[in-house]
Amino acid sequence: MKVTFRWFGKKDDSVPLAHIRQIPGMDGIVGALFDIPVGEVWPLDRILELKNEINSNGLRLEVIESVNIHEDIKLGLPTREQYIKNYQETIRNLSKAGIKVICYNFMPIFDWTRSDLAKELPDGSTVLAYEKSRVENIDPYVLVGKMENDSNGFSLPGWEPERLKTIKNLFELYRDVTEEDLFENLQYFLERVIPVAEECDIKMAIHPDDPPWSVYGLPRIVNNKENLERIVKCVDSPSNGVTLCSGSLGANPNNNIPEILDYFLKLGRVPFVHIRNVKIYENGDFEESSHRSQDGSLDLYEIIKVLHNHEFTGYFRPDHGRMIWDEVARPGYGLYDRGLGIMYILGIWDSLEKTKNLPKERMSENVAAE
Ligand SMILES: [Mn+2]
Protein backbone atom coordinates (compact mmCIF):
# COMPACT_ATOMS: atom_id res chain seq x y z
CA MET A 1 0.00 0.00 0.00
CA LYS A 2 1.52 3.31 -1.04
CA VAL A 3 1.01 6.31 1.24
CA THR A 4 0.13 9.55 -0.54
CA PHE A 5 -0.89 13.06 0.45
CA ARG A 6 -2.92 15.61 -1.45
CA TRP A 7 -1.06 18.83 -2.16
CA PHE A 8 -2.33 21.97 -3.90
CA GLY A 9 0.96 23.44 -5.10
CA LYS A 10 3.55 25.80 -3.68
CA LYS A 11 1.45 28.93 -4.05
CA ASP A 12 -1.83 27.52 -2.83
CA ASP A 13 -1.04 25.08 0.00
CA SER A 14 -0.13 25.89 3.59
CA VAL A 15 1.85 22.65 3.86
CA PRO A 16 5.34 22.50 2.35
CA LEU A 17 6.49 19.35 0.55
CA ALA A 18 9.41 19.10 2.98
CA HIS A 19 6.94 18.62 5.86
CA ILE A 20 4.87 16.07 3.98
CA ARG A 21 8.03 14.07 3.37
CA GLN A 22 8.61 13.81 7.13
CA ILE A 23 5.41 11.83 7.69
CA PRO A 24 6.57 8.23 8.23
CA GLY A 25 5.92 5.93 5.29
CA MET A 26 5.26 8.79 2.86
CA ASP A 27 5.62 7.78 -0.78
CA GLY A 28 4.14 10.45 -2.97
CA ILE A 29 1.92 13.41 -3.72
CA VAL A 30 -1.57 13.42 -5.14
CA GLY A 31 -1.42 16.53 -7.29
CA ALA A 32 -3.05 18.48 -10.09
CA LEU A 33 -2.63 21.55 -12.26
CA PHE A 34 -5.29 23.61 -10.57
CA ASP A 35 -4.99 26.63 -12.85
CA ILE A 36 -5.81 24.88 -16.12
CA PRO A 37 -9.46 25.65 -16.92
CA VAL A 38 -11.73 22.60 -16.92
CA GLY A 39 -11.84 21.05 -20.38
CA GLU A 40 -8.46 22.29 -21.63
CA VAL A 41 -5.48 20.06 -22.40
CA TRP A 42 -2.88 19.83 -19.63
CA PRO A 43 0.43 20.78 -21.28
CA LEU A 44 3.21 18.23 -20.87
CA ASP A 45 5.78 20.82 -19.81
CA ARG A 46 3.56 21.99 -16.97
CA ILE A 47 3.00 18.42 -15.79
CA LEU A 48 6.76 17.75 -15.89
CA GLU A 49 7.43 20.96 -14.00
CA LEU A 50 5.10 19.83 -11.19
CA LYS A 51 6.61 16.35 -11.21
CA ASN A 52 10.16 17.69 -10.98
CA GLU A 53 9.29 19.96 -8.09
CA ILE A 54 7.77 17.01 -6.21
CA ASN A 55 10.61 14.62 -7.13
CA SER A 56 13.23 17.10 -5.98
CA ASN A 57 11.62 16.92 -2.53
CA GLY A 58 12.07 13.16 -2.44
CA LEU A 59 8.46 12.35 -3.32
CA ARG A 60 6.79 10.68 -6.29
CA LEU A 61 3.93 11.99 -8.44
CA GLU A 62 1.90 9.06 -9.77
CA VAL A 63 -1.67 10.02 -8.85
CA ILE A 64 -3.62 12.98 -10.21
CA GLU A 65 -6.72 14.32 -8.48
CA SER A 66 -8.56 15.46 -10.35
CA VAL A 67 -8.71 15.96 -14.07
CA ASN A 68 -12.17 17.51 -13.88
CA ILE A 69 -14.79 16.78 -16.47
CA HIS A 70 -16.38 19.61 -18.38
CA GLU A 71 -20.08 20.10 -17.68
CA ASP A 72 -20.81 19.73 -21.43
CA ILE A 73 -19.65 16.09 -21.18
CA LYS A 74 -21.88 15.48 -18.15
CA LEU A 75 -24.76 17.19 -19.94
CA GLY A 76 -24.15 15.27 -23.18
CA LEU A 77 -24.03 18.44 -25.31
CA PRO A 78 -22.64 18.26 -28.88
CA THR A 79 -19.68 20.38 -27.72
CA ARG A 80 -18.56 17.41 -25.60
CA GLU A 81 -16.65 15.96 -28.58
CA GLN A 82 -13.88 18.55 -28.33
CA TYR A 83 -13.70 18.26 -24.55
CA ILE A 84 -13.39 14.47 -24.79
CA LYS A 85 -10.57 14.86 -27.34
CA ASN A 86 -8.84 17.24 -24.94
CA TYR A 87 -9.30 14.76 -22.10
CA GLN A 88 -7.70 12.00 -24.19
CA GLU A 89 -4.78 14.30 -24.91
CA THR A 90 -4.39 15.09 -21.21
CA ILE A 91 -4.30 11.35 -20.44
CA ARG A 92 -1.52 10.90 -23.01
CA ASN A 93 0.47 13.78 -21.58
CA LEU A 94 0.06 12.50 -18.03
CA SER A 95 1.27 9.06 -19.07
CA LYS A 96 4.39 10.60 -20.61
CA ALA A 97 5.13 11.98 -17.14
CA GLY A 98 4.72 8.55 -15.52
CA ILE A 99 1.26 9.08 -14.00
CA LYS A 100 -0.51 5.84 -13.06
CA VAL A 101 -3.91 6.91 -11.69
CA ILE A 102 -6.35 9.69 -12.58
CA CYS A 103 -9.10 10.40 -10.06
CA TYR A 104 -12.19 12.20 -11.35
CA ASN A 105 -15.84 12.61 -10.43
CA PHE A 106 -19.07 12.88 -12.33
CA MET A 107 -21.13 15.13 -10.06
CA PRO A 108 -23.22 17.83 -11.77
CA ILE A 109 -22.25 21.43 -10.94
CA PHE A 110 -21.09 20.96 -7.35
CA ASP A 111 -18.24 18.83 -6.25
CA TRP A 112 -18.59 17.86 -2.56
CA THR A 113 -21.15 19.74 -0.43
CA ARG A 114 -21.06 20.69 3.27
CA SER A 115 -23.07 23.04 5.49
CA ASP A 116 -20.03 23.82 7.67
CA LEU A 117 -16.33 24.00 6.93
CA ALA A 118 -15.36 24.53 10.56
CA LYS A 119 -17.84 22.99 13.00
CA GLU A 120 -16.30 23.08 16.46
CA LEU A 121 -16.14 19.82 18.41
CA PRO A 122 -16.07 19.66 22.24
CA ASP A 123 -12.25 19.27 22.20
CA GLY A 124 -11.84 22.56 20.30
CA SER A 125 -10.92 20.98 16.96
CA THR A 126 -12.99 21.92 13.92
CA VAL A 127 -14.34 19.70 11.17
CA LEU A 128 -16.26 19.77 7.93
CA ALA A 129 -19.87 18.89 8.62
CA TYR A 130 -23.14 18.33 6.82
CA GLU A 131 -26.47 19.26 8.32
CA LYS A 132 -29.19 18.11 5.99
CA SER A 133 -31.75 20.72 6.97
CA ARG A 134 -29.25 23.55 6.60
CA VAL A 135 -28.06 22.46 3.16
CA GLU A 136 -31.57 21.85 1.95
CA ASN A 137 -32.82 25.21 3.21
CA ILE A 138 -29.99 27.32 1.85
CA ASP A 139 -30.32 28.74 -1.62
CA PRO A 140 -27.51 27.07 -3.62
CA TYR A 141 -26.21 30.51 -4.67
CA VAL A 142 -25.93 31.52 -1.02
CA LEU A 143 -24.08 28.29 -0.30
CA VAL A 144 -21.50 29.13 -2.97
CA GLY A 145 -20.79 32.48 -1.28
CA LYS A 146 -20.61 30.84 2.14
CA MET A 147 -18.08 28.25 0.97
CA GLU A 148 -15.89 31.04 -0.40
CA ASN A 149 -16.09 33.06 2.83
CA ASP A 150 -15.34 30.14 5.16
CA SER A 151 -12.34 28.68 3.35
CA ASN A 152 -9.57 30.53 5.25
CA GLY A 153 -8.62 32.34 2.06
CA PHE A 154 -7.83 29.15 0.13
CA SER A 155 -9.70 28.16 -2.98
CA LEU A 156 -11.63 24.95 -2.49
CA PRO A 157 -11.19 22.10 -4.96
CA GLY A 158 -14.40 21.73 -6.94
CA TRP A 159 -15.66 25.15 -5.85
CA GLU A 160 -13.53 27.26 -8.15
CA PRO A 161 -15.21 30.66 -8.55
CA GLU A 162 -14.82 30.73 -12.35
CA ARG A 163 -16.76 27.53 -12.73
CA LEU A 164 -19.49 28.55 -10.34
CA LYS A 165 -20.05 31.93 -11.99
CA THR A 166 -22.28 30.23 -14.51
CA ILE A 167 -24.16 28.29 -11.88
CA LYS A 168 -27.65 29.69 -12.61
CA ASN A 169 -27.31 28.77 -16.23
CA LEU A 170 -26.08 25.28 -15.28
CA PHE A 171 -29.09 24.62 -13.07
CA GLU A 172 -31.25 25.51 -16.03
CA LEU A 173 -29.36 23.06 -18.26
CA TYR A 174 -29.63 20.21 -15.74
CA ARG A 175 -33.36 20.68 -15.18
CA ASP A 176 -34.41 17.82 -17.45
CA VAL A 177 -31.34 15.59 -17.05
CA THR A 178 -32.35 12.33 -15.35
CA GLU A 179 -30.02 9.90 -13.60
CA GLU A 180 -30.35 7.62 -16.60
CA ASP A 181 -29.28 10.47 -18.93
CA LEU A 182 -26.31 11.21 -16.70
CA PHE A 183 -25.30 7.54 -16.71
CA GLU A 184 -25.50 7.43 -20.51
CA ASN A 185 -23.30 10.52 -20.71
CA LEU A 186 -20.77 8.89 -18.38
CA GLN A 187 -20.76 5.73 -20.47
CA TYR A 188 -20.29 7.78 -23.66
CA PHE A 189 -17.29 9.46 -22.05
CA LEU A 190 -15.80 6.20 -20.73
CA GLU A 191 -16.18 4.43 -24.08
CA ARG A 192 -13.93 7.07 -25.61
CA VAL A 193 -11.49 7.66 -22.78
CA ILE A 194 -10.87 4.20 -21.26
CA PRO A 195 -9.22 2.73 -24.40
CA VAL A 196 -6.76 5.64 -24.35
CA ALA A 197 -6.10 5.12 -20.64
CA GLU A 198 -5.55 1.42 -21.27
CA GLU A 199 -3.02 2.14 -24.02
CA CYS A 200 -1.25 4.55 -21.68
CA ASP A 201 -1.22 2.13 -18.72
CA ILE A 202 -3.27 4.57 -16.68
CA LYS A 203 -6.12 3.66 -14.33
CA MET A 204 -9.10 6.00 -14.36
CA ALA A 205 -10.68 6.04 -10.88
CA ILE A 206 -14.12 7.60 -10.43
CA HIS A 207 -14.74 9.23 -7.06
CA PRO A 208 -18.11 8.64 -5.39
CA ASP A 209 -20.62 11.45 -5.01
CA ASP A 210 -20.22 13.41 -1.81
CA PRO A 211 -22.67 13.23 -0.11
CA PRO A 212 -23.96 10.05 -1.76
CA TRP A 213 -27.46 11.41 -2.33
CA SER A 214 -29.10 14.03 -4.50
CA VAL A 215 -28.59 17.66 -3.51
CA TYR A 216 -30.80 20.45 -4.93
CA GLY A 217 -32.54 17.94 -7.18
CA LEU A 218 -29.41 17.27 -9.23
CA PRO A 219 -28.96 13.68 -10.44
CA ARG A 220 -26.48 11.41 -8.64
CA ILE A 221 -25.19 8.12 -10.03
CA VAL A 222 -21.96 7.28 -8.17
CA ASN A 223 -23.36 6.59 -4.74
CA ASN A 224 -23.69 2.87 -3.94
CA LYS A 225 -22.40 -0.59 -4.79
CA GLU A 226 -24.94 -1.27 -7.55
CA ASN A 227 -24.21 1.97 -9.39
CA LEU A 228 -20.44 1.54 -9.03
CA GLU A 229 -20.75 -1.96 -10.44
CA ARG A 230 -22.77 -0.69 -13.37
CA ILE A 231 -20.09 1.92 -14.06
CA VAL A 232 -17.06 -0.40 -13.94
CA LYS A 233 -18.86 -2.96 -16.07
CA CYS A 234 -20.23 -0.61 -18.74
CA VAL A 235 -16.73 -0.44 -20.19
CA ASP A 236 -15.09 -3.63 -19.02
CA SER A 237 -11.43 -2.76 -18.69
CA PRO A 238 -8.86 -2.80 -15.86
CA SER A 239 -8.41 0.91 -16.59
CA ASN A 240 -12.03 1.62 -15.61
CA GLY A 241 -11.77 1.75 -11.81
CA VAL A 242 -12.97 3.42 -8.65
CA THR A 243 -11.48 5.76 -6.06
CA LEU A 244 -12.94 4.00 -3.06
CA CYS A 245 -13.61 6.94 -0.73
CA SER A 246 -14.72 5.55 2.64
CA GLY A 247 -16.02 8.87 3.94
CA SER A 248 -18.04 9.83 0.87
CA LEU A 249 -19.77 6.50 0.36
CA GLY A 250 -19.86 5.89 4.11
CA ALA A 251 -21.99 8.97 4.84
CA ASN A 252 -24.90 6.73 3.86
CA PRO A 253 -25.08 4.00 6.53
CA ASN A 254 -26.62 1.62 3.97
CA ASN A 255 -23.24 1.49 2.22
CA ASN A 256 -21.21 -1.26 3.90
CA ILE A 257 -17.70 0.02 3.18
CA PRO A 258 -15.62 -3.10 4.00
CA GLU A 259 -17.98 -5.19 1.88
CA ILE A 260 -17.98 -2.76 -1.07
CA LEU A 261 -14.20 -2.39 -0.89
CA ASP A 262 -13.72 -6.17 -0.82
CA TYR A 263 -16.04 -6.57 -3.80
CA PHE A 264 -14.26 -4.09 -6.05
CA LEU A 265 -10.79 -5.23 -4.94
CA LYS A 266 -11.80 -8.74 -6.06
CA LEU A 267 -12.73 -7.28 -9.44
CA GLY A 268 -9.31 -5.59 -9.55
CA ARG A 269 -10.87 -2.14 -9.93
CA VAL A 270 -9.53 -0.17 -6.96
CA PRO A 271 -6.30 1.64 -7.84
CA PHE A 272 -6.82 4.41 -5.28
CA VAL A 273 -8.41 4.62 -1.83
CA HIS A 274 -9.43 7.65 0.22
CA ILE A 275 -9.54 6.78 3.90
CA ARG A 276 -11.41 8.86 6.45
CA ASN A 277 -14.04 8.41 9.11
CA VAL A 278 -17.44 10.06 9.45
CA LYS A 279 -19.70 10.32 12.44
CA ILE A 280 -23.30 9.92 11.32
CA TYR A 281 -26.21 11.13 13.44
CA GLU A 282 -29.69 9.56 13.62
CA ASN A 283 -31.20 12.25 11.39
CA GLY A 284 -28.56 11.67 8.68
CA ASP A 285 -26.35 14.67 9.50
CA PHE A 286 -22.67 13.84 9.60
CA GLU A 287 -19.30 15.31 10.47
CA GLU A 288 -15.78 14.31 9.50
CA SER A 289 -14.42 12.79 12.71
CA SER A 290 -10.84 11.78 13.46
CA HIS A 291 -9.67 8.62 11.72
CA ARG A 292 -9.94 6.54 14.89
CA SER A 293 -12.68 3.89 14.69
CA GLN A 294 -14.09 4.83 18.11
CA ASP A 295 -14.56 8.45 17.04
CA GLY A 296 -16.76 7.81 14.02
CA SER A 297 -19.37 5.52 12.50
CA LEU A 298 -16.95 3.64 10.23
CA ASP A 299 -14.69 0.90 11.54
CA LEU A 300 -11.35 1.87 10.03
CA TYR A 301 -9.83 -1.35 11.41
CA GLU A 302 -12.22 -3.43 9.28
CA ILE A 303 -11.49 -1.28 6.22
CA ILE A 304 -7.71 -1.61 6.60
CA LYS A 305 -8.15 -5.35 7.23
CA VAL A 306 -9.84 -5.74 3.84
CA LEU A 307 -6.98 -3.86 2.14
CA HIS A 308 -4.47 -6.02 4.00
CA ASN A 309 -6.26 -9.28 3.09
CA HIS A 310 -5.95 -8.28 -0.55
CA GLU A 311 -2.28 -7.32 -0.07
CA PHE A 312 -3.29 -3.99 -1.56
CA THR A 313 -0.41 -2.43 -3.51
CA GLY A 314 -2.31 0.61 -4.80
CA TYR A 315 -2.33 4.16 -3.46
CA PHE A 316 -4.18 5.57 -0.48
CA ARG A 317 -4.38 8.98 1.03
CA PRO A 318 -5.95 10.24 4.25
CA ASP A 319 -8.90 12.03 2.68
CA HIS A 320 -9.48 14.93 5.03
CA GLY A 321 -8.48 15.79 8.55
CA ARG A 322 -9.79 17.94 11.38
CA MET A 323 -8.20 21.32 12.01
CA ILE A 324 -6.18 20.99 15.21
CA TRP A 325 -3.36 22.70 17.12
CA ASP A 326 -4.32 26.14 15.74
CA GLU A 327 -3.27 25.21 12.24
CA VAL A 328 -4.48 27.57 9.50
CA ALA A 329 -5.01 25.65 6.27
CA ARG A 330 -7.52 24.85 3.60
CA PRO A 331 -10.50 23.26 5.42
CA GLY A 332 -9.94 19.49 5.59
CA TYR A 333 -6.39 19.76 4.29
CA GLY A 334 -4.18 20.62 7.23
CA LEU A 335 -0.94 18.77 7.90
CA TYR A 336 -1.42 17.67 11.49
CA ASP A 337 -4.59 15.63 11.55
CA ARG A 338 -3.95 14.03 8.18
CA GLY A 339 -0.53 13.06 9.55
CA LEU A 340 -2.19 11.52 12.61
CA GLY A 341 -4.61 9.69 10.33
CA ILE A 342 -1.75 8.15 8.38
CA MET A 343 -0.09 6.96 11.58
CA TYR A 344 -3.32 5.33 12.72
CA ILE A 345 -3.81 3.63 9.37
CA LEU A 346 -0.21 2.42 9.20
CA GLY A 347 -0.43 1.28 12.83
CA ILE A 348 -3.33 -0.99 11.96
CA TRP A 349 -1.64 -2.17 8.78
CA ASP A 350 1.66 -2.96 10.55
CA SER A 351 -0.11 -4.87 13.34
CA LEU A 352 -1.91 -6.96 10.74
CA GLU A 353 1.37 -7.54 8.94
CA LYS A 354 3.16 -8.62 12.15
CA THR A 355 0.48 -11.07 13.16
CA LYS A 356 -0.42 -12.53 9.77
CA ASN A 357 2.04 -15.43 10.00
CA LEU A 358 1.55 -16.22 13.66
CA PRO A 359 0.40 -19.82 13.98
CA LYS A 360 -3.20 -20.11 15.14
CA GLU A 361 -2.20 -21.75 18.48
CA ARG A 362 0.07 -18.84 19.36
CA MET A 363 -2.70 -16.39 18.63
CA SER A 364 -4.99 -18.19 21.06
CA GLU A 365 -2.17 -18.52 23.64
CA ASN A 366 -1.71 -14.78 23.49
CA VAL A 367 -5.39 -14.22 23.94
CA ALA A 368 -5.48 -16.68 26.86
CA ALA A 369 -2.49 -14.94 28.48
CA GLU A 370 -4.35 -11.64 28.44
MN1 LIG B 1 -12.68 11.38 -1.09
Using one digit for the tens of pLDDT, what is the confidence trace for 182-239? 999 999 999 999 999 999 999 999 999 999 999 888 999 999 999 999 999 999 999 9
**Mean per-residue pLDDT over the chain, rounded:** 93
Residue 362 placed within a domain? no
Residue 321 placed within a domain? yes
Please pick, among 83, 130, 315, 333, the residue that the annotation labels catalytic. Answer: 333
Residue 235 placed within a domain? yes
Please pick, among 13, 70, 104, 245, the residue that the annotation labels catalytic. Answer: 245
What CATH number does the domain containing 177 carry? Answer: 3.20.20.150
Name the residue range of residue 335's domain.
2-354
Determine whether 333 is an active site residue: yes
pTM here is 0.94
Q: Where are the alpha helices (DSSP H) in 68-166?
A: 71-75, 80-96, 132-137, 140-149, 161-164
Q: Check: CB of residue 202 under 8 Å from CB of residue 163.
A: no
- Taking alpha carbons only, the member of 180, 202, 204 closest to residue 190 is 204
How many structural domains are present in the chain?
A: 1
Q: Which three-class secondary structure state does DSSP give residue 83?
A: helix
Residue 319 placed within a domain? yes
Determine whether 274 is an active site residue: yes
| CA-to-CA dists, residue 255 to 163, 228, 252, 267, angstroms | 31, 12, 6, 18
Residue 223 placed within a domain? yes
Residue 300 placed within a domain? yes
Residue 176 placed within a domain? yes
Tell me the per-residue pLDDT of 308-338, one tens digit each, with 9 for 90 and over.
Answer: 999 999 999 999 999 999 999 999 999 999 9
Going from the Cα of 360 to the center of ligand 1, the distance in angstroms, rounded, reads 37
256 phi and psi, to 5 degrees? -85, 100
Residue 294 placed within a domain? yes
Q: Taking the CB of residue 104, how many other CB atoms lie within 10 A of it? A: 18
